[in-house]
Each structure stands twice: as structure tokens, then as C-alpha cells.
Amino acid sequence: MLSEFDLIKQYFKRELPGRATLGIGDDCALLTPGAGSQMAISTDMLVENRHFFAGADARCLGHKALAVNLSDLAAMGATPVAFTLALAMPKADPVWLAAFSKGLFEIADLYGCELIGGDTTRGPLNICITVFGELAPGQAIKRSGALAGDDIWVSGTLGDARLTLAGLRDEFPIDHASLELASPRMHLPDPRIALGQALAAGGLAHAALDISDGFVGDLGHILEASRVGATVNVDALPAGPALAAQEAATRRQFCALGGDDYELCFTADPAQRQAIIAAGAACGTPVTLVGVIDAGPGLRLIDGAGSTVDLDAAGFDHFTLP
């Protein structure tokens, strides 16, 4: 059985020149912010049987645990710098640890985000990461800045993670090819770091967040923080390629309410449309205009013809929301 220290040394401590002033090994790590920069800090936890099924692929878990945290940095427009990892696991399984740390470091290296410390303990599998990012003071895109008349944008596509969940739960028949296409969206989410950075650096967005709990609920956080309302065309929501082949009611439901998307939702002055489309193109992340911020409170969902859509009454009854 590996000791805690051997385990950390073998799977998590790397002898690479890093950005941290002091990394793994002492009581604290030391991080020196770049001159004139501000730190963005966020924590997200993945709990077995709550956020992932028991027996989930360890490499995917390593990826996803960091990806969902990086997604929060993306939403503020911050550049990833470092992260800590608090890990509880029932036993020190070398095969699991090797795969987990591989997935973790693959995405960490992709975004130049260094593991600088953490904690390791025995217990039910639980992965808690805190990320540290940097940005210029005043550039962070908060939830509270949306203004009446703003466009509402969504990055990438929505709903394929929810379609994957429907497949895993056997909610309704989904063909194998569709699940193959959709499942990376659930297991290997791609944080929209470059788009977030471009929006923040260019001062293009008034408000933003990442969509983790479903578009409608998450947009609601912007509306509440900004004290505004919105009108959204549900048929404009960009369905993932697998979801796009499903029936219209499923498409609407999963795009609007699905969850686990890790796309950005942001609002911006209509004068920025061309700049936003160009920013999306420059970082390879398409952006879609889905609605408008209203001065009055409340979220109104409409279809392409402008009629009110009631998602609960959309003839969709083959699943219950998570």
C-alpha cells in the first residue's frame, strides 16, 4: 500500500518548471500574481453518484474535474494559472490513479494550469479542485452587468451531454451512433477559455456565466444579478450534432434545460455583433444569438414564429428532470 506521500510523489508531483513560486511539498504553495493582475478563484467538487456514476472512467474524471473548474475561469474571462486538488478515495488503486492523473494533466498542460498542492485522504470518491486564474483588474465579466437591449449569446452547442445522460439512464431509445457522437460532451467537456479571454480583453460582453445546470436556470442567475428579464427564442438555441437529429420537443427541452454543457452564455451590446462573431471565429468556437435582455423581469421563451413556448407543456413526458 502506498503511503500518502509516495502517492502524491508518484502521481501528482511533477518536476517541471512551473509558474508557482513554490509548488507541492510545503505547508502552502506560493503564487505570485503577475504585476498589475487580479486573481480569479473558483472551486468545484465532483462527488461519486451525484456528479458521476460509480465506476466512471478515471481518465475522463481527471479531465472533467479540472475542465468544469476551468469553465468558471472562462466565464469570467480569466487565464488559468494554477489549481489545487483535494482527493478522497476509498483506496489507493494504482491503475485508477495513473489514468486519473493522465486525464488531469492532459488538460492541465493544454491550458498551462499547474497543480500546486492539495490534500489526499481515504473516503468515498470525491474530487475537489480549486483553480486560480489571472486577468487585468476591471476586466472580469460578472453576472451582474446585463443591460436592457443586450443581445444574449451562447457559445458552441447545447444538449448533447443531456442526451448522453438520457442514454445512460435508458430514458428513451437512442441509437448507438448518436450516443457515440454525444458522449464526449458529457465526459470530456472543453472549457471555453479562449472565447472568455477574448470577450474580457476586448470588453465585448456585459455579463457572462458558464452553463453547467442548464441554459434556462443559468441565464436566470444573470437576470437576477442584473435585475433584468429576457426573451429567448428556444428554437435558436444551438443543439449539439447528436441532439439535432432528435425530435423537436426533445431538442428544445435538452437545449433549454439540459445541464453539463460548459458553454458560455453572455450578454452584449448589439453594436458588438460583428466583433463577437469574429472573436468566436478566431478561437474556433461558434457563437449564436438566442435572445434579448428586457428591462422588465422574467424570462419569456418563444419559438421561431414568436409564439410563447411552455417547455413543460411541450408534449415531453419521457423523463423527469435531474
Interface with ligand ADP (CB under 6 A): 8, 12, 24-27, 85, 87, 115, 117-120
Least Å from the CB of residue 2 to ligand ADP: 12
Residue closer to ligand ADP (CB basis): 120 or 288: 120
4 is an interface residue for Mg ion by CB under 5 A: no
Find the helix or strand (DSSP H, E) in which 226 lies.
helix 215-226
Least Å from the CB of residue 49 to ligand ADP: 21
What whole-number distance in Å separates Cα of residue 36 and Cα of residue 175?
Answer: 52
Helix, coil or strand: residue 100:
helix
What whole-number distance in Å separates Cα of residue 282 and Cα of residue 198?
Answer: 9
Question: What one-character-per-residue DSSP string does 132-193 give?
Answer: EEEE-TT----GGG--TT-EEEEES-BSHHHHHHHHHTT-S---HHHHHHHHHHHHS----H
Return the sign of the alpha-carbon dihedral for residues 149, 155, 161, 166: positive
Residue closer to Mg ion (CB basis): 84 or 144: 84
Least Å from the CB of residue 10 to Mg ion: 17
CB-count burial class (<10 Å; 0-12, 13-18, 19+) for 33: exposed
Least Å from the CB of residue 118 to ligand ADP: 3
From ligand ADP, Mg ion, none, interface partner of 286 (C-beta below 5 to 8 A by class):
none
From Mg ion, ligand ADP, none, interface partner of 120 (C-beta below 5 to 8 A by class):
ligand ADP
Residue closer to ligand ADP (CB basis): 109 or 224: 109
Q: Which residue stretch of 117-125, 188-196, 254-262, 291-299 sits at the interface with Mg ion (rule: CB under 5 A)?
A: 117-125
Residue closer to ligand ADP (CB basis): 76 or 97: 97
Question: What one-character-per-residue DSSP string does 26-54 give?
Answer: BSS-B--PPTT-EEEEEEEEEEBTTTB-T
119 is an interface residue for Mg ion by CB under 5 A: yes
Q: Which residue stretch of 5-13, 16-24, 119-127, 240-248 sits at the interface with Mg ion (rule: CB under 5 A)?
A: 119-127
Nearest to 299 by CA among 190, 247, 207, 221: 221
From Mg ion, ligand ADP, none, interface partner of 170 (C-beta below 5 to 8 A by class):
none
Q: What is the DSSP secondary structure assignment for residue 294, as one 8-state letter?
A: E
| Phi, psi angles (nearest 5°) of residue 22 | -145, 125
What whole-number distance in Å separates Cα of residue 198 and Cα of residue 175?
Answer: 38
Least Å from the CB of residue 102 to ligand ADP: 14
Least Å from the CB of residue 85 to ligand ADP: 4
List the grid coordinates of 253: 427541452
Residue closer to ligand ADP (CB basis): 111 or 254: 111
Residue closer to Mg ion (CB basis): 5 or 172: 5
What whole-number distance in Å separates Cα of residue 252 and Cα of residue 249?
Answer: 5
Residue closer to ligand ADP (CB basis): 102 or 142: 102
Least Å from the CB of residue 32 to ligand ADP: 17
Least Å from the CB of residue 116 to ligand ADP: 7
109 is an interface residue for Mg ion by CB under 5 A: no
Residue closer to ligand ADP (CB basis): 119 or 247: 119
From ligand ADP, Mg ion, none, interface partner of 37 (C-beta below 5 to 8 A by class):
none
Helix, coil or strand: residue 67:
helix
The residues of the shown chain that bind Mg ion, judged by CB under 5 A, are 119
